[in-house]
Amino acid sequence: MEPSASIYTTFNLRLYDFVVLVISNAFAWRCSTRSTLLPFYQKHTKESSAHLEVGSGTGYYPATAASSGALSKTRLITLCDLNPNTLAYSKSRIASAGYRGSIETLEHNIFHPLAQDVRGKYDSIALYYLLHCLPGSFPQKATDVFATVVPALAPNGVLFGATILGKGVEHNWFGSRLMGLYNKKGMFGNTGDSEEGLKEALGEAFEESEVTIVGVVALFEARKPRGVTN
Ligand SMILES: C[S@@+](CC[C@H](N)C(=O)[O-])C[C@H]1O[C@@H](n2cnc3c(N)ncnc32)[C@H](O)[C@@H]1O
């Protein structure tokens, strides 16, 4: 397994929410989980009947959205991840949060094509804190990931996500140290990830897209994949 996924042992998953969602998001990446990332997630899932969560991690966002009622219309959540630990951990957390629909898990490398039977299946697809973890040049890795997930998007569906940029943004001292360390260990691969590159990859794959920068995080949403007629 690649280091972008193998780092998420059950022990590390227990630390993840505090280290990443509380400390790093507030002080290194300057993008608040509670006031920015969670509302952005809830906004895009609240009307979704079937949701695909790529890179499920601890399942914080779907679990918190479920407990706040933002997934009350969602009858299916599919969790897709390369690491079986994160799939088991996030599935159990979402179920414990009171989610009433079905939860499917898919152990899968997002650089490989999805099965034909997911074609047009999802009203919403989340890519939260996935792209910056992935190895490869930018924007090619984003283009590759969009090419994997776009066939699974329903005609009026939305793809949305958030990613930590490494280029063209001002990292503070804490963020620079953390980014350097994580890139060295292979947990991040974002030294070349820029807003321009992200816009380029989104623009190639979708007719409509929008990117908003908060701190050093790019929040993005996209609709109407190119070459797909509704
Ligand atoms: C930084 S965590 C993000 C977790 C969660 N989305 C969040 O924002 O809290 C990245 C997740 O992506 C998964 N991942 C990394 N590389 C992957 C790949 N090539 N294919 C699928 N999942 C991958 C990891 O196992 C991990 O669960």
Asked if 93 and 50 touch (Cβ cutoff 8 Å), the reply is no
Give residue 221's identity as a one-letter amino acid code: E
Q: Which is nearest to 129 in space by CA: 225, 216, 18?
A: 216
Task: Report the C-alpha gap between 207 and 129 in whole angstroms.
Answer: 23
For the chain, percent of residues with pLDDT exceeding 70: 99
For residue 228, what pLDDT band results from cuts at 50, 70 and 90?
Answer: low
Q: What is the mean pLDDT of the chain?
A: 95
Give residue 50's identity as a one-letter amino acid code: A
Atom 5, ligand 1: residue with shortest CA distance: 57
Q: From the CA of 57, how far away is ligand 1's center (Å)? A: 6
**Residue in the structure block whose two tokens are 């974002």:** 190
Q: Which is nearest to 204 in space by CA: 218, 219, 224, 190?
A: 224
Q: From the CA of 128, how far away is ligand 1's center (Å)? A: 8
Task: Report the C-alpha gap between 76 and 56 in whole angstroms.
Answer: 15
The residues lining ligand 1, judged by C-beta closer than 6 Å to any ligand atom, are 2, 4-5, 8, 55-57, 60, 81-83, 86, 109-111, 128-130, 133-134
For residue 176, what pLDDT band results from cuts at 50, 70 and 90?
Answer: very high
Which DSSP letter does residue 122 get? Answer: E
Q: Which is nearest to 11 in space by CA: 74, 75, 77, 89?
A: 89
Task: Report the C-alpha gap between 30 and 72 in whole angstroms.
Answer: 30
Q: From the CA of 207, how far away is ligand 1's center (Å)? A: 26
CATH class (in words) of the domain with range 3-224 = alpha beta
For residue 229, what pLDDT band results from cuts at 50, 70 and 90?
Answer: low
Structure tokens of 28?
């290194």
Asked if 221 and 146 touch (Cβ cutoff 8 Å), the reply is no
The mean pLDDT of 203-229, rounded to a whole number, is 94
Atom 15, ligand 1: residue with shortest CA distance: 5
Task: Report the C-alpha gap between 151 and 117 in whole angstroms.
Answer: 10
Instruction: List Cβ neighbours of 154 (8 Å cut-off, separation of 6 or more).
Output: 50, 120, 121, 122, 123
| pLDDT at 5 exceeding the cut of 90 | no
Mutate to test the pocket of ligand 1, among 22, 29, 64, 82 (most ligand atoms within 8 A of CB): 82
pLDDT in tens, 72-131: 999 999 999 999 999 999 999 999 999 999 999 999 999 999 999 999 999 999 999 999
> By three-state DSSP, how is residue 25 classified?
helix
